[in-house]
Amino acid sequence: MGKVDRISGIFWLCFAVLMIIQSYRLGLGTLHKPGPGFLFFWVNIVLGIMSLVVLIRAWVGKKGEGAQPAIFGRQNIPKIIFVLISLFLYALLMETVGFIPVTLLLFIFLLGIIEKKRWYYTAFVSIVVTVISYLIFETWLQSQLPKGLLGFLRF
């Protein structure tokens, strides 16, 4: 557990310290009239102490441990990163480009490029999914998905 806990322990310790400073600036108030930072100041002091315990345990327990397995499996990390990038782009482009084109692009990317399916399979599934999801969410549930570039079409 050593490496895992050392990294996460340091992260949470920094998080707690940042939040303690923030809460202190917000004002702790008095016990009669607790301020907006009161609860979070104390909660994050406890969080800070707990992260220290995790860190200390990780350091003390370090001795005698053999080779530690890597935190992340190697083979599929690029795939995860590509999928995440495509999702962020989807979110950012959704309103300007519109739901229909961006969903089509997402599926073509995920199925055709990431999963390497044949082009006609990719095209077929992408179109079907886009149309059906549009019908369900826009036409039936009236979710008001962004129209974007296709805003001139009235459907």
Q: Is 116 helix (H, G, I), strand (E, B) or coil?
A: coil
d(CA 86, CA 102): 10
d(CA 29, CA 21): 15
- E strand or H helix at 24, and its extent? helix 2-26
Which residue of 21, 92, 127, 149 would you call a contact of another protein, by CB under 8 A? 92
The neighbouring-strand residues paired with 137 are none
Size of the site for another protein (CB under 8 A): 65
CB of 17 to another protein, least distance (A): 12
Residues that bind another protein (CB under 8 A): 1, 4-5, 7-8, 12, 15-16, 19, 22-23, 26-27, 30-40, 43-44, 46-47, 50-51, 53-54, 71-73, 76-77, 79-80, 83-84, 87-88, 90-92, 94-95, 103, 106-107, 110-111, 115, 117, 125, 129, 133, 137, 141-146
